[in-house]
Amino acid sequence: MLIFKILIKNAFRRKLRTALTILGLAIAILSFGFLRTVISAWYAGVEASSANRLITRNAVSLIFPLPISYKEKIRQINGVKDVSYGNWFGGVYIDKKNFFPNFAIEPESYLKIYKEFILPEDQRIDFLKDRRGFVAGRNLAAKYGWKIGDIVTLQGTIFPGDWELILRGVYRGKDKITDENQFFFHWNYLNENLKKTSPLRADQVGYYVIELTGADKAGQVSMDVDAVFKNSRAETLTETEKAFQQSFVSMSEAIVITIQVVSFMVIVIIMAVVANTMAMTTRERIGEYAVLKTLGFSGRWIAALIFGESLVIAFIGCVFGIVLTFPAAKVFSKNLSTFFPVFNIEIKTVCLDIIAAFWVGIIAAVIPTWQAVKIRIADGLRRIG
């Protein structure tokens, strides 16, 4: 306890300099933690993927459809527990800036397969009964103030026209990594309208979702599904849900790498700032260290004082930075929930903050410690006064 008091007093001997250093550290830790959270949010879809689900799409590209008749053929393959399907609708709510994921799905099987979407039973029944009904994530519903029974009109882009839908349910995520900003309505409602307006586009889906009897069957089922439709007019590509999500992330891999580099550059810069502070502190106290040596204190003791002071400054800055990260993330998530539907500060991010602060404190003190330990007593005493 006495040593800790000494370290605190030493750290705050120059209050303004120490305060500015701590402020810089707090901002750096905030930036580092925030950028690492952005990276985690980028991979949220990948992390939320289930090992028991496969996605089947057109082998040429996701934008090309598949016949609805494929469903029963897929269901008959060994290892398949259930099959559902959907279309990316791409509708716009009021204005193009109001973007959110919206899908036309086969509701009953889709909700069975995606067990992480928790919907009250009465709302689930109402949704299944109403061909014009839709369900939305609770974050999405809260953002636009939607309530059960409200009529919401989506302006079709891929499927032109105004599509009036009625909110029949609001789902919540099973855990923190579940996206609560999605919008689902009946594929049958979409298909019935297409039969009237664009018959050639009817009876087609964008993708199939396959639930497996076991995760160990993913490889074999993927090959079997694609083999069934090989040499057909619409060949398929079947992959795990994680690989499917990863393919979207890989399109922006350069951005992710840049963010990672910037996050570590922030730590390197603040490391230089703390090192400069410790170097100035050490130069001012060379005389004191010489006196300590005269009294019989070893170089290890002096090194412990300098390293300890550096770590105290680093961890105080770290605590402030971590505390500031949470409200900053909350504000960011509220304003940009469309692009980052899952934006949570993870435990591993906080651990990375602490590890970064520790190494900043250690490395910043290395050169000042070496200078203090190697100084001769006579040279140090000359600097007194």
**pLDDT tens across 135-144, in order?**
999 989 998 9
Calpha distance 69→77 (Å, rounded): 14
Mean pLDDT, residues 347-361:
88
Residue 124: the pLDDT is: 94
Same domain, 109 and 167: yes
Percent of the chain with pLDDT over 90: 37
Residue 376: the pLDDT is: 73
Same domain, 200 and 144: yes
Q: Phi first, then psi: give them for residue 131, nearest 5 degrees.
A: -60, -30
Please answer whether residues 343 and 41 qualify as being in contact, where contact means their C-beta atoms are separated by less than 8 angstroms.
Answer: yes
49 falls within a domain = no
85 falls within a domain = yes
Please answer whether residues 30 and 328 qualify as being in contact, where contact means their C-beta atoms are separated by less than 8 angstroms.
Answer: yes
Number of compact structural domains in the chain: 2
Same domain, 208 and 164: yes
Residue 253: the pLDDT is: 66
Residue 188: the pLDDT is: 94
Binned at pLDDT 50, 70 and 90, residue 48 comes out as low
Residue 234 in this model has a pLDDT that exceeds 70:
yes
Same domain, 280 and 230: no
> Which residue, of 179, 200, 234, is where some domain finishes?
234
Residue 81: the pLDDT is: 93
Tokens 């404190």 appear where? Answer: 361
Same domain, 313 and 342: yes
Calpha distance 328→33 (Å, rounded): 10
Please answer whether residues 306 and 366 qualify as being in contact, where contact means their C-beta atoms are separated by less than 8 angstroms.
Answer: no
For residues 72 and 249, the model is more confident at 72
Sequence letter at residue 191? N
Residue 152 in this model has a pLDDT that exceeds 90:
yes
Mean pLDDT, residues 110-118:
92
243 falls within a domain = no
> Which residue, of 204, 234, 264, is where some domain finishes?
234
Q: How far apart are the first and last CA of the chain?
A: 30
For residues 324 and 346, the model is more confident at 324
246 falls within a domain = no
Residue 274: the pLDDT is: 84
Residue 99 in this model has a pLDDT that exceeds 70:
yes
Calpha distance 52→80 (Å, rounded): 10
Domain region containing 20: 2-44+253-382
Same domain, 130 and 200: yes
Residue 136: the pLDDT is: 95
> 316 by DSSP, 3-state: which?
helix
Model confidence, pTM: 0.73
375: which DSSP letter?
A: S
Same domain, 227 and 273: no
Same domain, 294 and 346: yes
247 falls within a domain = no
142 falls within a domain = yes
Same domain, 183 and 110: yes
Computed over every residue of the chain, the mean pLDDT equals 85
> Which residue, of 169, 203, 234, is where some domain finishes?
234
Residue 298 in this model has a pLDDT that exceeds 80:
no
